[in-house]
Amino acid sequence: TKTKNLERYLGSRLPGFPRQPAGTLAVRQYSSGQSNPTFYLQKGGQAFVLRKKPHGPLLPRAHKVDREYRVQKALFSAGFPVPEPLLYCSDVSIIGTEFYVMQHVQGRIFRDISLPEVGPAERSALYLAMIETLALLHSFDLQSLGLQGYGRGPGYCKRQVSTWKKQYDAAAHTDIPAMNKLAEWLANNLPPDDSEESLIHGDFRIDNIIFHPTQARVLAVLDWELSTTGHPLADLAYTTQFYFWPASIKGLGQGSILETPSFEELVSTYCRCRRISTTLSNFNFFLALSYFKMAGIAQGVYARYLIGNASAENSHEFAKVVKPLAERGLELSKRENLLFHQSRKGQEILLKVKQFMKQHIYPAEKEIIKYYTECRNSEDRWKKPPLLERLKELAKAEGLWNLFLPDVSGLSQLDYAQIAEETGRCVFAPEVFNCHAPDTGNMEVLHMYGTEEQKKEWLEPLLEGKISSCFCMTEPDVASSDATNMQCTIEREGNSYVINGKKWWSSGAGNPNCKVAIVMGKTKNSSASRYKQHSMIIVPMDTPGLKLIRPLSVFGYMDEIHGGHFEIHFNDVRVPVSNIILGEGRGFEIAQGRLGPGRIHHCMRSLGAAEAALEILCQRAAQRQTFGKKLYQHEVVAHWIAECRLSIEQARLLTLQTARKIDMLGNRRARKEVAMTKVVVPRAVLKVIDCAVQVCGGAGVSQDFPLAFMFAYIRTLRLADGPDEVHLSTIARWELLDQSKKLTAKI
């Protein structure tokens, strides 16, 4: 009878609704989970969509289909893509509730936000069309739309924070400190422009959009139930929040992260369309608010599950996601701005490190370098100067210690990258903060892959700075940039592994405090693939059969500051089986995990060296005079200065971008960026040092300036951790892969 009633009603009220033949109106409910039931109507070759209130008692401000009708009407008249609303019926006697009917729009709807059915190029185009539509929505003037009074006036953000806080508190099942902290942060950091009011959608997602069947064009934006007036950036943050989705949450909600288009591309397109600055002040607030809201919703779903009132089958899993969502919200809240901004903690530590460098490190430089120069020919040459040990104690006492390890320091890679640059201005400073290679890489390996016993025995004293370590991978007899060439063997004999082989370039092995080596070698398993035949094992330096053969020089320097670089031989070196890391054949897997962040840290430190070199260059250029003018007044020198600044800034941007990608997507998905950074930065830094040497003249290559040692040290970075050529091949491989994806999309 309801269908008949409806058919009769539409026949008399809806212009163009076919009256004949009677009794052929087909009605089908859409399955997608909108809270207002939606139906597809068809009669005589014409199609419409009906949306109604649900039956039963309803929350006071929810399910307002009259508002949906009103907003769609206003937007349609203004030329915004929405289905044309055709008729509103408040007479509940027709189908039991209020309803409205709109035009049926034919097109594509994508239910999965990663759009698996299209290629990267089309996905980009669709997302950009979506974000342009959002910008268009936000550019309407409420008055000209005739929607004055549609929302609840200024103070949208404040209301959102308190509404979601109340809803969360009512549903909370356990104490989640991150959620409380996030609520507090939001309440205390409301944007100053909370009075800004635009028409906002409230649930603007790609799966609420109908696209043209073949073109990247938005035909209609659906589901206006949550529309209101408020701050437009709330919509933008909600739409882009999945870029920051915690990797730990899979299978629930927005599990997939997009690589194309990038977050920056979407946001800058939005800003361009709205003619606003891309700095988007307070955007961190809106991202954090979005996560707060998602966490609140997840908590609500779980609460309904607990009382047996949830509709989704997986609703019990929602309890697990509240905490990671709240934590991500907190992390985002600490970001000062969109691009490369450190968390508050990162900023504080950077400031302290800068002060420490000024107060303690730079004044100690002369004495420490003198120590190494004077000890060069004595027995003490590998010992650390007492002043350095004192500085370490001081840094430790100030909490400026182990800053490289996120799980210990609480810093992101982006935070630490900027700190590493600061410490890189002085050659021995990283050690003062217990942030020096190769200990950092080795600690990372033990932290990520070590057993509890291995951590206790070796990681703890390394973290405390009581011992140091070396890493033995490269071999004198084979080209080690292809590590599958490795000949050193690690063979199991009863309860031991026996190691035989030669290694060289083991940095830090000369330090008398170097107590342990992580050694990579071949474990017999010829059936496994080339990359599963190697293992890493812990070898105490005092194990019988381990012998330091000789230190290797770097352009004539023995590099005592870094504990030298040694050739080490292993003759029947026997260690317990429990010393194997992660398991036999897992060496390459560990090497990959070790090198992502470590390489970026190296690059940042060397940018610090570049800054120091440019400072020397400029000072010298301003001091000395040739042919009647200061050196910097010669245009060629001025251009060198400019070129150096360009190189440093470009290299730094790439490094920060990579650090951010590691933070967001993890080491593996940032592999191309890590390789690019590893090639670009040493080149840029070497160029700066070379210019500085040139401007300093003869003094530049002498012991009176640090430039010669800097050059020697940085030059090795084009070899260490893999030579440039290997990284270039990696970059090319990834680039070709990315391009082939684009090509497939076009075909």
Ligand X SMILES: Cc1cc2nc3c(=O)[nH]c(=O)nc-3n(C[C@H](O)[C@H](O)[C@H](O)COP(=O)(O)OP(=O)(O)OC[C@H]3O[C@@H](n4cnc5c(N)ncnc54)[C@H](O)[C@@H]3O)c2cc1C
Site for ligand X, rule CB under 6 A: 438, 471-474, 479-481, 505-507, 554, 565, 716, 719-723, 725-726, 729
Which residues lie below 8 Å from residue 245, measured CB to CB, with a gap of 6+?
Answer: 253, 254, 255, 257, 328
Q: Compute the least distance from the CB of residue 122 to ligand X, in Å.
A: 35
**Closer by beta carbon to ligand X, 338 or else 548:** 548
Distance CA 191, CA 330 (A): 16
Measure CA 410 to chain center.
15
Q: How near is the Cβ of 425 to ligand X at its closest, in Å?
A: 20
Choose between 327 and 721: whose C-beta lies nearer to ligand X: 721
Listed residue (361, 368, 355, 309) closest to 562, CA to CA: 368
Residue 117 vs 725, nearer CB to ligand X? 725
Tokens 């919200």 correspond to 329
* Amino acid letter, 63: H
Q: Tell me how far apart the alpha carbons of residues 413 and 440 are, in angstroms, rounded to a whole number.
A: 13
> To the nearest whole angstrom, how small is the minimum distance from the Cβ of residue 594 to ligand X?
11
Rounded CA gap, 474 and 723, in Å? 12
User: CB of 292: closest distance to ligand X in angstroms?
Assistant: 45
Ramachandran class of 158: left when φ > 0, alpha when ψ lies in -120 to 50, beta otherwise: alpha
**Cross-strand pairs, 36:** none
Our CB check for ligand X shows the closer of 68 and 444 to be 444
Residue whose CB is less far from ligand X, 391 or 590: 590
What minimum distance in Å lies between the beta carbon of 483 and ligand X? 8
**Least CB distance from residue 511 to ligand X, whole Å?**
12
CA atoms within 13 A on the CB side of 571: 6
At residue 720, φ and ψ (nearest 5 deg) are -65, 150
Identity of the residue numbered 332 = L
Nearer to ligand X, 68 or 475 (CB): 475
Q: How far is the CB of 718 from ligand X (least distance, A)?
A: 8
Which residue lies nearer to ligand X by CB, 75 or 517? 517
Cβ distance to ligand X smaller for residue 95 or 541: 541
**Which 8-state DSSP code applies to residue 35?**
S
Residue 325: which residues within 8 A CB-CB, separation 6 or more? 246, 249, 291, 294, 295, 298
Output the smallest distance, CB 680 to ligand X, in A.
Answer: 17
Q: Pick the closest to residue 393 from 385, 401, 404 (CA basis).
A: 401
The Cα 552–Cα 669 span in angstroms is 36
- Closest approach of ligand X to the CB of residue 395, in Å: 23
> 319 is written with which tokens?
């309890």
Nearer to ligand X, 121 or 467 (CB): 467
All residues at 6 or more sequence positions from 430 whose CB lies less than 8 Å from its CB, including other chains: 420, 423, 424, 436, 437, 605
And the tokens for 192? 């100053």
